[in-house]
Structure 1
């Protein structure tokens, strides 16, 4: 998972690309059911990172990964 330091410090174009690649990767492993549902428990590193990422991208940012979180689709992940 990309460091939250990238988010806090604004990142570079390369950092933004890596964040977007991670976002796409996460949707692939979620869609393939390759990860444990435990990663979606509030307080886990992924959920904390997700909150920081959402704040970094802004409220208008819409991507499958963001929609997945915003719609709470992860709650039915098993």
Structure 2
């Protein structure tokens, strides 16, 4: 990656502005997507607190709500990603 900030692999499940925004069209569009496999040691539920002040350069704040360690099945039972 050519970015100058630290990057942590993650998967954003959904992001919408406002209450009651229908997400079904997005889910339907992404249904056939299959990304590359990657190893995961922990599952964390993170809330993105997006800037609302309109201040230039203001960054989102990330809050870990809960985290769960994951245990793989190993190389022999299900492939390299467990």
| TM-score interval, normalised by the smaller of the two chains | under 0.3
Taking structure 2 as the reference length, the TM-score comes to 0.25
If asked which structure has higher relative contact order (CA below 8 Å, sep 6+), I would say: 1
Task: Report the structure number with the largest CA radius of gyration.
Answer: 2
Taking structure 1 as the reference length, the TM-score comes to 0.26
Greater percentage in helix? 1
